[in-house]
């Protein structure tokens, strides 16, 4: 059993949603691409103990995702940018209890994390930098402007500048 197999299962689970993970192995709702790879008890045991960072070396709440973030950032920087780009906010769906979620009635997914996306006509390079910054600061950046002191327009200008610096 390799980490790649577990990641493959997690990708399948993200594509085919079930109310809980045990349903992928249930006879009525079985997903062969998941259930044929590993027994449910073994999967849950591996998932429980699978860590990408050493918990003894954690100093801040974002240390656990920093490695993953850096890998995503590296992959985003490899995407060739187009000549004409647009910077827009996007809501990543989430309804759990956490202070970072935001509500926007104009979006298809009204509740979730607000991130900013730099996209072109053909490619859409998603950037999790704003989300990481929000986790570090303990608040959702840009939702009320810059700490409530400046206008939303100033916040948008700051986001566009950060996007350009992110890819340069």
Four-CA torsion 52, 54, 57, 58, nearest 10 degrees: 50
Exposure letters 112-147 (e unless 16+ CB within 10 A, then b): bbbbbbbbeeeeebebbbbbbebbeeeebbbbebee
The pLDDT score that the predictor gives to residue 3 is: 76
The pLDDT score that the predictor gives to residue 163 is: 62
- CB neighbour class for 158 (10 Å; exposed up to 12, middle 13-18, buried from 19): middle
Q: What residue spans define the domains of the chain?
A: 3-50, 60-167
Contact (CB, 8 A) for 123 and 79? yes
Angle at 130 between CA 63 and CA 154, to 5 degrees: 140
Compute φ and ψ for 167, nearest 5 degrees: -100, -5
pTM for this entry: 0.41
The pLDDT score that the predictor gives to residue 47 is: 85
**Residue for token pair 């570090």:** 136
Closest by Cα among 43, 53, 54, 61 to 3: 43
Six-digit token string for 24: 């992928």
- The dihedral of CA 127, 129, 130, 136: what is its sign? positive
Compute φ and ψ for 73, nearest 5 degrees: -60, -45
Average confidence (pLDDT) per 10 residues, the chain, 168 residues: 80 86 92 90 87 74 70 70 72 72 80 72 52 41 40 62 63
């Amino acid at each position: 059993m390799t980490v790649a197999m577990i990641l493959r299962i997690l990708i399948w689970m993200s594509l085919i949603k079930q109310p809980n993970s045990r349903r992928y192995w249930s006879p009525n709702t079985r997903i062969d691409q998941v259930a044929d790879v590993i027994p449910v008890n073994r999967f849950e045991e591996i998932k429980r103990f699978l860590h990408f960072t050493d918990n003894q070396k954690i100093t801040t709440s974002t240390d656990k995702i920093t490695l993953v973030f850096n890998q995503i950032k590296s992959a985003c920087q490899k995407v060739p940018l187009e000549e004409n780009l647009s910077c827009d906010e996007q809501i990543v769906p989430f309804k759990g209890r956490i202070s970072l979620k935001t509500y926007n009635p104009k979006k298809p997914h009204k509740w979730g994390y607000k991130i900013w996306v730099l996209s072109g006509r053909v490619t859409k390079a998603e950037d999790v930098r704003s989300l990481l910054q929000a986790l570090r600061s303990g608040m959702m950046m840009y939702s009320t402007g810059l700490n409530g002191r400046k206008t939303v327009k100033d916040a948008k200008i700051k986001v566009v500048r950060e996007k350009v610096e992110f890819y340069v």
